[in-house]
């Protein structure tokens, strides 16, 4: 096992500063009338799965010797209306551009990420159905 630690510090009202193990910080807040300066915690989870998977997809496609020009990941989600507002469906849309990209290889990279390599997806998979699609530009 590998251990890690992050911290969350309350700054007043309903706003916090989250700091990762590398000392990088992000503002986290509710999105009520007074606090909307940071990322909502639940949306941070969606950003995490998108970034985690994007990292894998880039690495896999580079190993296949593709020259990527761009990758955007949009994460759409459905969550329960009652607390704890669990995400039940998460859909990632990978929009990829590059030289000579083959759809089969990009889809394989996304699938490998979500099924094997992305720790965030692996953690969420027990509660949410995770799907994806690929758009090649």
Q: How confident is the model at residue 3 (pLDDT cuts 50, 70, 90)?
A: very high
| Tally of structural domains, the chain | 2
CA distances from 80 to 71, 72, 89, 126 (A): 30, 26, 10, 15
What is the pLDDT averaged over residues 39-61?
96
Instruction: Return the pLDDT at 44.
Output: 95
Identify the helix (H) or strand (E) that includes residue 13: none
Q: 54 and 117 share a domain?
A: yes
Domain of 23 in residue numbering reads as 1-39
If one counts every other C-beta atom within 10 angstroms of the C-beta of residue 60, the result is 19
Please check whether residues 62 and 15 belong to one and the same domain.
no
Peptide bond into 60 cis (omega under 30): no
- Of 5, 44, 32, 37, nearest to 21 by C-alpha is 5
Mean pLDDT of 64-89: 96
For 23-33, the pLDDT digits (tens) are 999 999 987 77
Phi and psi at 6, nearest 5°, equal: -125, 170
pLDDT band at 131 (very low <50, low <70, confident <90, very high): very high
Do 47 and 63 belong together in one domain?
A: yes
Judge if 92 and 102 occupy the same domain. yes
Which CATH number belongs to the domain containing residue 94 in this structure?
3.30.300.20
pLDDT at 37 over 80: yes
Q: How far apart are CA 110 and CA 18, in angstroms?
A: 28
**Same structural domain, 51 and 107:** yes
């Amino acid at each position: 096992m590998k251990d890690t630690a992050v911290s969350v510090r309350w700054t007043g009202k309903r706003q916090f500063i989250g700091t990762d193990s590398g000392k990088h910080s992000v503002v986290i807040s509710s999105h009520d009338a007074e606090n909307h300066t940071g990322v909502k915690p639940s949306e941070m989870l969606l950003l995490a799965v998108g970034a985690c998977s994007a990292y894998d997809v880039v690495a896999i496609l580079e190993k296949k010797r593709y020259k990527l020009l761009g990758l955007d990941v949009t994460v759409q989600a459905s969550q329960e209306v009652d607390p704890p507002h669990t995400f039940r469906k998460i859909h990632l849309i990978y929009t990829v551009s590059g030289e000579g990209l083959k759809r089969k290889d990009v889809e394989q990279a996304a699938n490998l990420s979500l099924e094997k390599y992305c720790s965030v997806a692996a953690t969420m998979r027990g509660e949410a159905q995770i799907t994806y699609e690929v758009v090649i530009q």
